[in-house]
């Protein structure tokens, strides 16, 4: 996919002339975070056709972010924002391309320099059978107490979306640790659909650090309602199951609401004074509820869990606080299909320069950000 500089500049100029975001304060409860407004530098970036690297599987040069860029997570290191985003090539048209995770770095959280090569991608390694030809998708990041970084991501072979783990000490070089649930119950969930791992963490300044509760780490995951898992090492995870032996659903869908079709984890789940707070994603279909848009719609809401019992919901929003409103969020711009319109999808949240900022995917075409300046 080639998105001309003219198209991108036109979108940015058009958005700059629009009135400021309308803030729906009812959608941000007193225990929540926000309100967020779109950054004036929007979108941050889209597909790029002149970046290529040699795919270790095909041994050929691949334009790895030519089709589109999607979801992104972020962390702060040494005063800079490190943004990890999903990018796709055009290798499997008219369907989804192979996904790889790229890296972009910024001094101000808005203007990024993208690395030439992806940092996490299908390779001739232990994950090959799980990641080819679909690739590595949808990253979420937290820091660990031993000064490392943990990335949960989706390994996609074209059949199953499997939740996987990678670790890094420098945010550049990543070691794949394997499937998150590989050792649980003899690999019971290895060939099932699992994705979207959001780990419970605490905030220390601009760092979000995975934190044990009752002697274990906790992680929310899933998309048709949230499930939950625990771990002692952040690499091997045990699924909490219900009496029927299926994953326990701790946050179900809400019929008729903004997350009636999909409820999926956001960036991470952060321990606050009032509980465990998470910004999360929701999906609708068949025009229910009516957002005034054609087709499915992806919006955002918030949930608060008990910080002493992460399976217990204290409160949740029944109304979204952020939804597709701008052209770059409503219209998929790919030339060959294989992407969704009406998407605002969060996977990254940071505290940077005394403000909250989240990063989100827009209509499977761009990455953008929104900010909330907390008043003292």
Give the pLDDT band of residue 24 (cuts 50, 70, 90). low
The pLDDT assigned to 335 comes to 66
The pLDDT assigned to 6 comes to 41
Q: What does pLDDT average to over the chain? A: 91
Q: And the tokens for 76?
A: 């702060």
Residue 114 has pLDDT above 90, yes or no: yes
CATH number at residue 315: 2.115.10.20
Residue 12 has pLDDT above 50, yes or no: no
Domain hosting residue 167, numbered range: 5-372
pTM of the model: 0.91
State the total domains in the chain: 1
* Range with lowest mean pLDDT among 1-10, 135-144, 170-179, 360-369: 1-10
Give the pLDDT band of residue 5 (cuts 50, 70, 90). very low
For the chain, give the percent of residues with pLDDT over 90.
84
CA–CA separation, 259 and 300 (whole Å): 8
Residue 231 has pLDDT above 90, yes or no: yes
Give the pLDDT band of residue 108 (cuts 50, 70, 90). very high
**What is the mean pLDDT of the segment spanning 264-276?**
97
Residue 16 has pLDDT above 50, yes or no: no
Residue 22 has pLDDT above 60, yes or no: no
The pLDDT assigned to 333 comes to 85
Residue 146 has pLDDT above 50, yes or no: yes
**What is the mean pLDDT of the segment spanning 159-173?**
97
**What is the mean pLDDT of the segment spanning 305-315?**
98
Q: Which residue has the higher pLDDT, 242 or 41?
A: 242
CA–CA separation, 108 and 111 (whole Å): 6
């Amino acid at each position: 996919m080639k998105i001309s500089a003219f198209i991108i500049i036109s979108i940015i100029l058009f958005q700059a002339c629009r009135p400021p975001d309308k803030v729906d304060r009812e959608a941000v409860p007193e225990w929540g975070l926000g309100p967020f407004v779109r950054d004036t530098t929007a979108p941050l970036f889209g597909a790029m056709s002149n970046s290529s690297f040699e795919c270790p599987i095909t041994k050929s040069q691949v334009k790895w972010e030519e089709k589109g860029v999607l979801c992104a997570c972020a962390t702060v290191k040494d005063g800079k924002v490190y943004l990890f985003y999903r990018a796709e090539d055009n290798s499997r048209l008219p369907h989804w391309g192979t996904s790889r995770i790229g890296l972009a770095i910024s001094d101000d959280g808005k203007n990024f320099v993208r690395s030439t090569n992806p940092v996490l991608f299908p390779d001739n390694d232990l994950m090959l059978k799980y990641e080819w030809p679909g690739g590595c998708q949808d990253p979420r990041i937290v820091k660990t107490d031993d000064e490392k970084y943990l990335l949960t991501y989706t390994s996609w072979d074209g059949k199953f979306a499997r939740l996987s783990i990678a670790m890094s000490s420098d945010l550049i070089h990543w070691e794949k640790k394997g499937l998150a649930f590989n050792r649980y119950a003899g690999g019971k969930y290895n060939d099932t659909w699992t994705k979207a791992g959001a780990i419970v963490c605490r905030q220390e300044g601009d760092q979000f650090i995975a934190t044990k509760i009752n002697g274990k780490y906790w992680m929310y995951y899933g998309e048709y309602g949230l499930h939950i898992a625990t771990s002692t090492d952040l690499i091997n995870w045990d699924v909490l199951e219900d009496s029927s032996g299926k994953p326990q659903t701790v946050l179900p869908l809400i019929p008729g609401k903004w997350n009636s079709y999909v409820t999926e984890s956001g960036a991470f789940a952060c321990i606050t004074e009032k509980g465990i707070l998470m910004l999360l994603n929701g999906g609708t279909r068949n025009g229910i509820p009516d957002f005034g848009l054609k087709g499915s719609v992806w919006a955002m809401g918030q949930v608060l869990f008990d910080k002493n019992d992460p399976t217990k919901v204290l409160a949740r929003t029944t109304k979204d606080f952020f939804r597709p409103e701008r052209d770059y969020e409503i219209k998929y711009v790919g030339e060959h299909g294989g992407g969704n319109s009406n998407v605002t999808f969060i996977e990254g949240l940071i505290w940077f320069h005394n403000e909250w900022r989240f990063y989100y995917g827009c209509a499977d075409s761009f990455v953008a950000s929104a900010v909330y300046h907390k008043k003292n």
